[in-house]
Amino acid sequence: MRPQAGVRISTYFITIILVLFSTGIAAQGTLLIVGGGSEKNGANSWSTPPYRWAVEGKRVAIIGMETGSLAPYMKNQCGAAFAKEFALNTSVLANAQETYDTLITYDVIFFRGGDQWDYYNLYRNSKIQDAVEMKYNEGGCIGGTSAGMHILSSVVFTAENGTVYPDECIENPNNQYITLADDFLDLRPGFVFDTHFCERGRFGRLTGFLANLYLNGNNDVTGLGMDDMTCMTIDASGLGTVYGTGCANIYRRKGDFRQNGTKLLADSVEVVQLLKGCSFDFNTGIAFFETLDRQIDPREQTETGNYTVLASGGNLLPDNSGMITHLVQECGNVSDPVLIFSGDNALAESFRNKITEAGATATEIVNPTTALGQDAALAGKISGASKMLFLKNSESTFREFLETDNGRLLKTKLHSDLMISAFAGEDARFAGKTVVGNYLTELASWYAEMTFNPGLALLGNTVIMPQTFLNSDIYENTSTAVPYAMSLDTLKYGIWLTNHSFMKISPVNENVTLTGFGTAPVMLLTNRGTLSGFSTQTGSGGSGAARQVAGFDKLSLSLIDNTNPVILGKASPAFIAGQDSAEIIQVYPNPAGSIVSLPMPQGAKQWQISEPAGKTVFSGTESADLNVSTLSPGIYFIHWTDARHQLVAVSKFVKN
């Protein structure tokens, strides 16, 4: 009997489909990948437009370990034709033919949040996996939020041993909690996903994932970290578009990963931060920056300070033991006294004892308040100091002190050649150009409550964030503050410090060099691009301040210690760096044997001579034929300042 025409047509289409699958040209579906966070009602909320893109007019199956309220949201807010929740929480259900037969009747399969180990453990090699792959290959949409997004990339953080925290990942990328697998869903080949990215400070974690894969198998993948209340729609061509309040963060290795002990070091990880409206081609790896509307170019900026700056990430004495020892024994002379500026006398006293134990002498504690702004004795201490330590100072009180005469003298002294200064914990912020304030307040970044004020600018193109990963309440603040300040103030560098790390910036062979110390690396973010922008989306889509999140077209993340220092610029002595605003004076004789004649330039009220280590050896208020016979041979610097301690003139001479 001849087959009927309908049978011949069906056979024909089956043959075509089999050919397409065998040659790898099967249809590809779409994806909705969501970084977590509560979906919000309203046509302009962060979630409704992308969810509507995925589900409008379609049948949606929402699966997980339990049911919830997503189905009404999908139907009532996002236009789904039908939506149903399925609690598939046993291996029996995961492997049931009925489960498969039911799921393939839906147009969209969406994984809710939860624990990705449950998904990986129960759904891998199950009928659920078969249904998802079948639906995706026939052009359907697969989505997931939080844990549900994690499982959609080719490499999955399975969380078999529980979650892993960012500080653990940078201190040891091979720790027992980093469990990665590539034998589940492979809907985005060559990627590993992470979620709740800025909210939980996971830039350190994603970097650890990339390093683990590279160090243990030379496996290079691209990391995608999605902020909470942020998502991407990925169409059938592989073009992803960002929606929501934060960033889609693309991480790609550009230099080597290695370890010093267990500590992770990285030459360069390229970072792209895509805000709402930006897009990314998952097939070519090319990003498009449609909404990065801030034109900046800090690429030629460098650090030029001819002095040493130490900064730690923790406030407590145990956090600073290594930095104190380094300050005393590795900077200047061991016996040099250290002048401590602190708003906490009890804590300062414990630091003083530690400094004395390390070998320093005559260490003093000063509480920098406006009451001491004109104090002559303090002015003498500042002028004569070669080492200073800043500890537990209130930002507002310290800022007021800096506006006094002694505060201005302090700023001049800190910028003087070969001066040595150290900043503990919270005070590390003061050493940069921009001081991040209110970062210890929970949700300050989310509610746009962090402040950004001028710092001492010992690092004139840098923002420093201590206490990174201190606790979950401020993960987002410490994570977002650095790139936000870099965009706001057009800075080239951002530095993250944890309570297990401290940094040293000093002139080495005329180069301003950043070195890290501790059991955690120092994390350096460098802006190598020209485009930036700020989040404009509130969660509800209504009025109000958007969260303090910045996007960038090209950043570079490096993890540093003492084995891989980074050069930030050329050291420029103060008397050279200040020549545009200060007169250069010639003194005689030069070189000098026993006498140097010092004039008083117009406007000058005082002068000081400092040795190469930064210590003041002579000072005065009148012109003089100065006896320098007691000085050791070498180069000495002369600074003349006015009544407000502003630099007027500079010079140097050589003592024979």
Task: Say whether both 332 and 261 belong to one domain.
Answer: no
Task: Say whether both 512 and 585 belong to one domain.
Answer: no
Instruction: Walk across the sheet containing 364-366 and list its strands.
Output: 364-366, 339-342, 387-391, 420-424, 308-312, 501-508, 511-518, 566-570
The two tokens of residue 504 are 């040293």
Q: Examine residue 331 and state whether it is found in any structural domain, yes or no.
A: yes
What pLDDT was estimated at residue 218? 87
Task: Say whether both 127 and 100 belong to one domain.
Answer: yes
Q: Quick check: 272 and 555 in contact, CB under 8 A? A: yes
Q: Examine residue 537 and state whether it is found in any structural domain, yes or no.
A: no
Task: Say whether both 337 and 284 belong to one domain.
Answer: no
Task: Say whether both 423 and 445 belong to one domain.
Answer: yes
What pLDDT was estimated at residue 579? 46
For residues 10 and 526, which has the higher predicted lDDT (pLDDT)? 526
Q: What are phi and psi of 123, to 5 degrees?
A: -95, -20
**Residue 364's CB: how many other CB atoms inside 10 A?**
14
What pLDDT was estimated at residue 608? 86
What pLDDT was estimated at residue 7? 36
Assign 610 a pLDDT band (cuts: 50, 70, 90). confident
- State how far the Cα of 414 lies from the Cα of 458, in Å rounded to an integer: 8
- Domain total in the chain: 3
What pLDDT was estimated at residue 118? 98
For every residue of 346-393, DSSP letters joined together read HHHHHHHHHHHHTT--S-EEE---GGGTT-HHHHHHHHH-SEEEEES-
Q: Please give the mean pLDDT across all residues of the chain.
A: 92
Percent of the chain surpassing pLDDT 70: 94
Task: Say whether both 206 and 335 belong to one domain.
Answer: no
Assign 575 a pLDDT band (cuts: 50, 70, 90). low
**Does residue 13 carry a pLDDT above 50?**
no
Q: Examine residue 546 and state whether it is found in any structural domain, yes or no.
A: no
Task: Say whether both 566 and 594 belong to one domain.
Answer: no
Is residue 543 classed exposed, middle or buried when 0-12, 13-18 and 19+ CB atoms within 10 A define those classes? Answer: exposed
The domain that holds 321 is classified in CATH as 3.40.50.880
- Among residues 266, 291, 316, which one ends one of the domains? 291
What pLDDT was estimated at residue 27? 56
Could you write out the three-class secondary structure of 296-331? CCCCCCCCCCCCEEEEECCCCHHHHHHHHHHHHHCC
**Does residue 578 carry a pLDDT above 90?**
no
116-123 helix and 127-137 helix, angle to the nearest 10 degrees: 90
What pLDDT was estimated at residue 248? 98
**Does residue 11 carry a pLDDT above 70?**
no
Residues 528-546: pLDDT tens digits?
Answer: 999 999 999 999 999 999 9
What pLDDT was estimated at residue 628? 92
Residues 37-55: pLDDT tens digits?
Answer: 999 999 999 999 999 999 9
End-to-end CA distance of the chain: give it in Å, rounded: 117
Task: Say whether both 426 and 443 belong to one domain.
Answer: yes
**Does residue 222 carry a pLDDT above 80?**
yes
* Residue 156 lies in domain: 5-291
Q: Examine residue 532 and state whether it is found in any structural domain, yes or no.
A: no
Task: Say whether both 421 and 512 belong to one domain.
Answer: yes
The domain that holds 639 is classified in CATH as 2.60.40
Task: Say whether both 271 and 317 belong to one domain.
Answer: no
Task: Say whether both 521 and 591 belong to one domain.
Answer: no
Assign 5 a pLDDT band (cuts: 50, 70, 90). very low
What pLDDT was estimated at residue 261? 97
Q: Quick check: 127 and 97 in contact, CB under 8 A? A: yes
Task: Say whether both 345 and 227 belong to one domain.
Answer: no
For residues 644 and 76, which has the higher predicted lDDT (pLDDT)? 76
